[in-house]
Structure 1
Amino acid sequence: MPERRIGVPQIAHWPEMRLDSVCELISRGTAPAYVDDSPIRVIGQRCVREWGFDASATRGHDPRALNVLRAKTGDVLLNSTGAGTIGRSCVFGEVGDFVVDSHVTILRPALAKINPRWMEMLLRSPWGQRYLEAHCFTGSTNQVELSRSELVSTVVPVPPVAEQRRIAEVLDAVDHQDAMLEACLKKKEVIVGGLISSLLDSVSSVESELSSFLSGPPKNGYSPVEVDNWTGVKALGLSCLTPRGFRPVQLKNVPSGDSRNRAAMLANGDLLISRANTRELVGLAGIYRDVGAPCIYPDLMMRVTTSAQCLPEFLELQLLEGRVRRQIQAMAQGTSESMVKINSRTVMELRVRIPELAEQRRILGIVAAARSEVESLYQERQRLRLLKQGLADDLLTGRTKVA
């Protein structure tokens, strides 16, 4: 396999080494044997989050199952399948017995050569993410996999270990603030989620098919090939639809002269639904908000247009609420849990309760007031992450030295 390097612009001109020469292990996990109650916990893709490792998303593993891959403190966990989640990474540091499933790859650094935090920072950087997508992801958009053979031959910059350690300490301090904000945000969201469920449960309208409240069938978007340079036109990535609604966290540059962009061009207030993802994430919905440039939505999303009897913001609440989410997950189909699909018919057949417009507006008003504090916390966290990204870029290139 030819060697390729992550294209970090090196101001410090550190030496470079292949990943397999600085790692004791690079291996994907195995298919788990789930049980309801076990001290052995399975690490899946949901555990590898933007802000770090989430132990609450683990599941029990049968102690009798053999040939498992156990995670150790300092391992770098890399999501290895699934559009929208592949390429996400974190450093594992939990106490206990944890194994990884077949959708997660462990990179175990040789600590005498490379610091886990440095390695994870490389993978998470814009240069690392572009590299993984260009060289290490294989398969179609419906079933993307991480190629181990390409990953192990990747060449990375390796500064002195002492300098790596100092850089890690700086980033860990920022990560600690991030984790505290994330924990506070999750608590507030649980409270607001309970309020939304209570409000929707109070709706006395007759349950009907969603098709009764749409002006037509949902329409798929368009996915042109991403380009590196700014063209004036953006495309949403699948990660923009979250359990919290729309978040512009994954925007791609796409060609501006493609006539097929026109049908997928978004307008402020459009309601979108993901039509392919893991079973946990498929069917997430969100109201698109302007991102500062013309923007299209991809083939893995559908645009839903409501009739005059239904406000799109109210339908978004319904689609993200547990009862309707369970319908979506039950109706999604696919040969692998890492990529299941819904279609236009699935959406139209969903059973929803849509009250009169006045009641929709009343509920939306209560929810908006409750969400304002959540949004403030979210914006504070985003500002911290932008600061962290700028700091990481300076440290990664050697532009800024750590004393």
Structure 2
Amino acid sequence: MRDDSAVRWIPVGELGDVRMGKQLSPASRMSGKQLPYLRVANVYDGYIDYSDVKTMGFTSAERETYNLRPGDILLNEGQSLELVGRSALYDGPEGAYCFQNTLVRFRPGEEIVPEYAQIIFSNWLATGVFASIAKKTTSIAHLGGDRFAALLFPARTHREQQRIIEVLNAMGDAERSMKQSIKKLQDIHYGATEGLAGAKLTCLASVIASGPQNGLYKPASAYSAIGTPIVRINSFSGGPSDLTRNLLRVETSEGEVSRYGVRPGDVLINRVNSIDLVGKSTTVRTLLEPTVFESNMMRCRLHEDRALPEFVELWLSSTAAKRYFRQRAKSAVSQASINRTDVLATPFPNIGIEEQRSFLNSISAIDNQLSTLKESLAKHGLLKKGLTERLLTGRSDQSGVNSWATIATP
């Protein structure tokens, strides 16, 4: 029985036609029939963007040489090192476009299924095969038609090529479905949070029991490997954060820890930052030891019967709150700042504790679904990577492909 899984390593140039495109020149802008051509800016990893196509002159002979037909694969010849070799299948009408010399065209012969070749080329981009043969001049790396043609390609039977295409297409469909579900949940999350701006608004001052209070200033010499952990503006990105690790430490007195210490339920707000980040906020959740906060932020303590810290944190991350902080910010060189008065006057939804809790529960349910989907998407990506690595090395036999298909098919 013939072994369909046998891989023969054959130079790319022996499996199809490798051709560089036509060079753009001043003369080509004026001579010949002006025809649309594709260039690096049109060819992405796995798809072609036809929205910005330029023209240049092609003679009848050049049109025959540089025309494109379905099944051709275009690869970036000149690119940054990490993107050189980026490729896509041409899916436009036959003869409608030509291509420039910033691209390489591979026209597969009868032995190679175009979709299979595209899988291999995309893998070579991801695993650095193209980067390893490219020649770099200044900031541009060149694939080189001859170097590309000399690469050894894992040729397989049509039957196995088609099976591999089916498996990866199924995995791609599942991946797209998960991404669509993630996008839908993110839109629901965003819409729900932004919808709070439509509620009756009061001021943040109505739920603040203490503060806003500026934090502790210490010179660089006071920072060391020992001392009290200190929350700085780069300790969190806005929203939920973990303040139990990766904090710098600073020398403090008992009085400073008492005055500038934080505790669970405190809301911390950046008062000095870039214009896009001023007002960035987080809620203190768990602490393992006494911790203080720096002078570039303010601490607010809430009336426990009027506002949930997590709800305040969520609101302060909304578009409406961020817009307010940007409007109130005072700019100085590369920094912007807000003050105590600005924070107290921040618009805040005038809703009760139970309604806040119900809203947070709904958002939490969405976040849990998002977390599950993102974890599944990451696992799926590893699964897909494992298969494509097998394709590259030629270690995937037919039974192995079948097992991948069982996992990939819903």
TM-score category, normalised to shorter length: 0.3 to 0.5
Q: Could you say which structure has the larger radius of gyration?
A: 2
Normalising by structure 2, report the TM-score: 0.45
